[in-house]
Amino acid sequence: MGTLDGMTAVRPAISDVSDAALLAWLAKRGEPAYRAKQIRRHATRGTAAGFGELTDLPKPLREALAASFRWTSVELVREDASADGETRKALLRLADGHHIETVLMPHHGARNAVCVSTQAGCPMACAFCATGEMGLVRNLTAGEIVDQTRHWQRELAQRGDRVSHVVYMGMGEPFNNYDATLASTRTLVDPEAFGISPRRLTISTCGVVPGIDQLAGEGLPINLAVSLHAPDDPTRARIMPINRKWGVEEVLAAAARYVKRTKRRVTFEYVLLAGVNDSAETARELAALITRHGPTKDSHVNLIPYNPGAGGFRRPSVERMEHFAEVLQEQGIAATLRISKGQDIAAGCGQLKVAEGKAQLLPI
């Protein structure tokens, strides 16, 4: 058993137990190896709320599992539904008393995208982002990342549906927690687990160049989204402190390398801030920057209206945002103005934040 933050030991969550460790645990009890697949299948695809409901396993095995492992690493504290009738946000408690948020974003019955967090809090301090105001509390384990998807999977399964897409765009910088992030993607794409196509996973980064290059070499055709928010270093550094470490040109060069190695198009996330980065001239500078770093077909710009919250910025008018998109398109850049959802429950881009006090170890 491990410890969290030096506190009392807790049972590991089944989502944080490796296949090898689970097989060894089963073998020690004289159980056949195929039981491991049964357990994983229940954990990732079914509606069971605990080991006691795995009725295709012998009762003594169910009891032994419950005594050795936690069914999940997260516990639902509160769930909020948006007035848009689709978006839902869950506040989840971790075993050490800290909290994270995750969002379900259905799209008119065609798909169910889940936005997951990779850290409790975030150290990147982007000026427009409420999560950055928290600072970093701690990294999440791979199981804690996966269990956010499991939370929504169980709810969707009860109505005959399932998670189809996962976006790593919640709390935290995924590449600052690289190993756990990557391990979670391998569980999500595993046919014996969630079986989600890697092409339906998207990892978003503030522009951690070594992480972009490392992911490019993993052999997984995962989508990459890069938070850009400005085409020049002075403006981007004002919005994103990380720009002082890896500037605009370095980030674009890394994105181009990612495209070359993975054959996947990169999305540039761009939050529109009134009077800061939303002028037509800025749009032309952005188009020129992207064009310098490769064929325009290799990228897409996702324009995101600023959501009220951190930084005291303002959202540009609809007309100004639409004109920004038009200028990009006139320059041959694929650009989409995102429809904002979930603002009323603080589930929009840059709005995830939880109140953190002194954590206490609580059973899950």
Could you tell me which of 90, 150, 76, 103 has the C-alpha nearest to residue 307? 103
Query: Among the listed ranges 48-57, 80-89, 123-132, which one has the minimum average pLDDT value?
Result: 80-89
Read off the pLDDT of each residue in 36-58 and give the average, rounded to a whole number. Answer: 91
The reply to whether 32 and 112 lie within a common domain is no
Share of the chain above pLDDT 70, in %: 90
Per the annotation, the verdict on 126 as an active-site residue is: no
Q: How far apart are alpha carbons 54 and 47 in whole angstroms? A: 10
342: β partners: none
Per-residue pLDDT at 341 = 56
**Exactly one of 101, 155, 173, 269 is catalytic; which is it?**
101
Span of 126-140, 164-178, 339-353 with lowest mean pLDDT: 339-353
Within-domain flag for 113: yes
Please report the pLDDT score of residue 360 as a whole number: 38
End position of a domain, from candidates 9, 36, 68: 68
Q: Is residue 363 part of a domain?
A: no
Q: Is the pLDDT of residue 358 over 80?
A: no
Give Cα 316 distance to the centre of its chain.
26
Q: Using an 8 Å Cβ cutoff, are 262 and 221 in contact?
A: yes
Instruction: Share the mean pLDDT of the chain.
Output: 89
Asked if residue 9 belongs to a domain, the reply is no
Mean pLDDT along residues 162-187: 97
Asked if residue 225 and residue 126 are part of one domain, the reply reads yes
117, 123, 129, 134: CA torsion to nearest 10: 90
Q: Which range in 109-123, 277-291, 339-353 is most confidently predicted, on average pLDDT?
A: 277-291
For residue 80, report the phi and psi dihedrals to the nearest 5 degrees. -115, 140
Torsion from C-alpha of 326, 328, 333, 338, nearest 10 degrees: -70
349 among known catalytic residues: yes
- Report if residue 327 sits inside a domain: yes
Same domain (yes/no): 203, 249? yes
Catalytic hit among 86, 249, 349, 356: 349
Which residues span the domain enclosing 206?
75-345
pLDDT at 346: 43
Total domains present in the chain: 2
Would you state the structure tokens that stand for residue 99, as one six-digit string? 């909290």
**223 in a structural domain:** yes
The confidence band for 3, taking pLDDT boundaries of 50, 70 and 90, is very low
Residue range 186-197: mean pLDDT, rounded: 94
**Helix or strand or coil: residue 57?**
coil
- Do 159 and 229 fall within a single domain? yes
Structure tokens at 243: 């720009």
85 & 210 share domain: yes
209-214 long-range contacts, CB within 8 A, separation 24+: 209/246, 209/250, 209/251, 209/254, 210/175, 211/174, 211/175, 211/176, 211/178, 212/175, 212/251, 212/254, 212/255, 212/257, 212/258, 213/254, 213/257, 213/258, 214/175, 214/178
127 lies in some domain: yes
Q: How confident is the model at residue 178 (pLDDT cuts 50, 70, 90)?
A: very high
Please tell me whether residues 210 and 263 are part of one structural domain.
yes
In-domain check, residue 315: yes
> What's the pLDDT score for residue 9?
63
Residue 257 and residue 326 in one domain: yes
pLDDT for the residue numbered 151: 95
Q: Give the CATH number of the domain where residue 83 resides.
A: 3.20.20.70
Q: Are residues 326 and 198 in the same domain?
A: yes
Look at residue 3 and tell me if it is in a domain: no
- Do both 235 and 302 map to the same domain? yes
